[in-house]
């Protein structure tokens, strides 16, 4: 793979040859593929030896791998809220996981689906929602024309014993019977959506729940990994393999429809893999940390993008990017310029990936994650500026459900990606400046613990604004 510097050099050569890449003269389709609790190490392009992911890897081979790609939170629901709005979810109080009975995403927030529908796309959502279960928070009310999946935090992958279907799955608002392995069903629904809409611009958010718990795999996939001795890791590997095959079906359908050069495709995980008492079999090596904290293992994720004929194939982009960038990038691909009044925190990555801009997309990135409301809150925060990261987080002790230790460090990630060495005594002024910058950002946010769900009133549905 080529580095960011090599990408710029290759683009310069094409300019000299008279074939410089020009902005596409037709807006693109957009497909966002999201995995759930997938470990940083658990893709082939990050060096996985025991879990092959050839289809996911092909996105990097045909496009760009972000070596410093981040989620905006180390937990499922707030991470999704950030991705879906292009804004730090802390700005609107989405601080932690919500469940089907909670308020979830505030009605006034405009979503990815809203924006892409306004850009003339037919919009589809497939998979795990986890953004609230009230009527106004159903995907059909948040910008999506077609939906298939479940609203809550997790789902069985197979029909429970004694039941004939996986529970709580709907098409739109209507219950559906699903007897197949759920990851396969989601892949099948995605290919059907693409097939139906191949002759019109579309946006598809395919949010797999794999490989999130419960750790359940079909025997067909378990048989592929008989060499893995740890039963949890073996089942996890089988789940990731099923995910990879489903991704392959989606990519094959896009190719078969002749849409590869007209489709921007993202793949990323919603957060790092869990470890300790909540381990699902994931590995975040060579990073330290896990889901639930803001060390690199909790927030740096597999993060890939492909747009054949537009983005340089087989390249690695090294500057930090974040899931908030997907929305403005997708809007640009759809021919829409983000407006300042939308107050997006993400940026359009296309000029950076194409070499038209050589500065980093972000001067600084922020994280704040308050797990559980006060007085039981575990305050996690971090700031990254260039290679420097100041982190203050709580880390679960191995094998312990309710035992934690505090971690507070200044890290140079260029030389210490495992975050072992605290340099705050060596660089006290830098640590002080980063803390002050984070505090200034924190002051812009809703106070911790005031979750979106708590702020909704019983009559909130009546206050839902007109969507774009």
- Which residue among 46, 76, 138, 212 is the active-site one? 76
Distance (Å) of CA 410 to CA 324, 394, 431, 467? 24, 15, 6, 43
C-alpha 400, offset from chain centre: 27
Q: Which of 92, 1, 10 is nearest to 318 (CA)?
A: 1
Active site residue 130: yes
Q: Which of 325, 333, 277 is nearest to 309 (CA)?
A: 333
- Which residue among 26, 46, 55, 130 is the active-site one? 130
| Range list of H helices, 257-295 | none
Work out the number of other CB atoms within 10 angstroms of the CB of residue 308.
17
Partnered with residue 205 across adjacent β-strands are 32, 125
C-alpha 58, offset from chain centre: 18
Distance (Å) of CA 378 to CA 13, 104, 403, 466? 51, 21, 11, 37
* Strands (E) located in 248-377: 263-269, 303-306, 315-317, 321-322, 365-371
Active site residue 257: no
Q: Which two tokens stand for residue 104?
A: 């979830």
Instruction: Give the catalytic positions in this structure.
Output: 76, 130
């Amino acid at each position: 793979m080529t580095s960011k510097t090599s990408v710029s050099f290759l683009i310069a050569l094409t300019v000299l040859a008279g074939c410089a890449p020009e902005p596409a003269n037709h807006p693109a389709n957009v497909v966002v593929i999201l995995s759930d609790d997938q470990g940083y190490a658990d893709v082939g392009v990050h060096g996985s030896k025991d879990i092959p992911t050839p289809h996911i890897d092909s996105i990097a081979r045909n496009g760009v791998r972000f070596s410093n790609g981040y989620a905006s939170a180390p937990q499922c629901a707030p991470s999704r809220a950030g991705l879906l709005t292009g804004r730090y979810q802390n700005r609107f109080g989405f601080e932690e996981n919500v469940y089907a009975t909670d308020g979830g995403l505030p009605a006034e927030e405009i979503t990815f689906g809203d924006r892409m529908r306004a850009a003339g796309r037919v919009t589809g959502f497939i998979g795990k929602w986890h953004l609230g279960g009230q009527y106004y928070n159903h995907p059909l009310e948040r910008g999506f024309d077609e939906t298939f999946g479940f609203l809550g935090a997790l789902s069985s992958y197979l029909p429970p014993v004694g039941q004939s279907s996986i529970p709580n799955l709907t098409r739109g608002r209507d219950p559906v019977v699903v007897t197949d392995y759920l990851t396969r069903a989601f892949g099948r629904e995605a290919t059907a959506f693409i097939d139906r809409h191949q002759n019109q611009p579309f946006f598809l958010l395919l949010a797999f729940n794999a490989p999130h718990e419960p750790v359940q795999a079909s025997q067909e996939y378990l048989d592929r990994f008989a060499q893995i001795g740890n039963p949890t890791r073996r089942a996890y590997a089988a789940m990731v393999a099923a995910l990879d095959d489903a991704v392959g079906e989606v990519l094959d359908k896009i190719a078969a429809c002749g849409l590869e050069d007209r489709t921007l495709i993202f793949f990323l995980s919603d957060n790092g893999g869990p470890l300790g008492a909540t381990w699902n079999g994931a590995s975040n090596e060579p990073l330290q940390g896990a889901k639930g904290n803001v060390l690199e293992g909790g927030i740096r994720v597999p993060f890939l993008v492909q747009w054949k004929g537009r983005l340089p194939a087989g390249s690695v982009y090294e500057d930090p990017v974040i899931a908030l960038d997907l929305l403005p990038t997708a809007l640009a691909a759809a021919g829409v310029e983000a407006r300042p009044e939308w107050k997006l925190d993400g940026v359009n990555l296309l000029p950076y990936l194409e070499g038209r801009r050589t500065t980093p997309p972000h001067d600084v990135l922020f994280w704040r994650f308050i797990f559980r409301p006060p007085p039981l809150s575990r305050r996690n925060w971090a700031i990254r500026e260039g290679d420097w990261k100041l982190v203050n987080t709580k880390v679960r002790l191995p094998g312990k459900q309710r035992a934690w230790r505090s971690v507070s460090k200044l890290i140079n990630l260029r030389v210490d990606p495992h975050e072992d060495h605290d340099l705050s005594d060596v660089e006290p002024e830098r640590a002080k400046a980063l803390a002050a910058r984070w505090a200034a950002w924190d002051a812009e946010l809703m106070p911790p613990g005031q979750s979106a769900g708590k702020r909704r009133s019983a009559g909130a549905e009546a206050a839902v604004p007109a969507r774009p």
